Amino acid sequence: MKLGVAGFLPMDWRKIDVAATQRVVAAGFSGAHAFFDRPLEVETADVLRVKQAYQEAGLVVAQTNGWYECLIHADEAVRAEGIRGLQALTRIGRLLDSLFVYVRPGSMNLGGHWWPHPENHTQATFDRLVDSMKKACAYAEMEGMLLGIEGHVVSTLDTPQRVRDIIDAVGSPALRFNMDPVNFVGTVRDVHDTSRLLNELYDVLGDVMVAVHAKDCAILDAHVVHIVEVVPCTGTMNYEILMKRWEQCCPEGYVLIEHLPDEKVLIAREAIARKAAQYGITLE
């Protein structure tokens, strides 16, 4: 199993140098993400400098991420700008020899791409996302890149089946699924039975997965319902199912620790390493 991290590098990609990438390798990771805040403004020479920093450390660009306008926005001009931004990020990913480019579906909530809004779940919004992804995938196919789209219970892609629906509707070999199981934990029962959720994700989407984000979840003793992310292997996520089925369906894909400060990244890595040893899984 390949273990990487989304983080543990400077937040500003302009500050990524060999010392920064070597630190990631020294921490026990073979891959890491690269995040570009304004991909439409990034110059080729700057991307190649970042690429060299990864190469000199022997660090794989396991995922290219970045900011772009909302892909489901009702304003066609804004949505078109979002597609352009994702296409620019795809070009950056290709220059970096990245394994894939991360895609967020966006939200009708103007406060953030992962915030809830009732219109996120309408057919009209889903149709706009299909149109955006068809255009993004056509460019990705031209660049020879994979796109890994992520879902969430508050997003348009709120269930494993809905993710399957968009992959089938777009119909492009460039479109894959970046699995984040915690994102699909939406109820108290989900928290208490992550085995059911994990098996559903693998059953419905195992053939199109490109990476998995390693997180965990717990429910707080508080009113009304507070479901929170916690360090991997300290919550209710069934890591035996997550890791064993990942080995079966995507042995060359990365498991990426994310959403943690540096000191907790190291704790998470050791916890996952212990689980891997327990289940007879070799970490690369």
What is the arithmetic mean of pLDDT over 7-28? 96
3-state secondary structure of 147: strand
CA distance 155 to 265: 27
Query: How high is the pLDDT of residue 150?
Result: 98
Decide if 284 is inside a domain.
no
Q: Which residues pair with 259 in a beta bridge?
A: none
Decide if 12 is inside a domain.
yes
Q: pLDDT tier at 167 (50, 70, 90 boundaries)?
A: very high
Decide if 224 is inside a domain.
yes
Number of independent structural domains in the chain: 1
Kindly report the pTM of this predicted structure: 0.96
Contact status, residue 80 vs residue 192, Cβ threshold 8 Å:
no
Decide if 138 is inside a domain.
yes
Number of CB atoms found within 10 A of residue 272's CB = 24
What is the arithmetic mean of pLDDT over 231-257? 96
Decide if 263 is inside a domain.
yes
Q: pLDDT tier at 160 (50, 70, 90 boundaries)?
A: very high
| DSSP codes joined into one string, 36-56 | ES-GGG--HHHHHHHHHHHHH
Decide if 98 is inside a domain.
yes
Decide if 165 is inside a domain.
yes
CA distance 205 to 246: 11
3-state secondary structure of 176: strand
CA distance 244 to 222: 33
Q: Which of 180, 185, 258 is nearest to 227 (CA)?
A: 185
Determine what percent of the chain is predicted with pLDDT higher than 90: 97
Domain with 274, as residue range(s), is: 2-278
Q: pLDDT tier at 254 (50, 70, 90 boundaries)?
A: very high
Kindly tell me the burial class for residue 81, based on how many C-beta atoms sit within 10 Å of its own C-beta (0-12, 13-18, 19 or more).
middle
Rg of the Cα trace of the chain?
Answer: 18
What's 228's domain CATH number? 3.20.20.150
- Beta-sheet pairing, 227-230 with 216-219: antiparallel
What is the arithmetic mean of pLDDT over 65-80? 98
CA distance 48 to 58: 15
Decide if 283 is inside a domain.
no
Average pLDDT, the chain: 97
What is the arithmetic mean of pLDDT over 97-126? 97
Q: Which of 17, 21, 18, 19 is nearest to 8 (CA)?
A: 21
3-state secondary structure of 259: coil
pLDDT at 86 exceeding the cut of 90:
yes
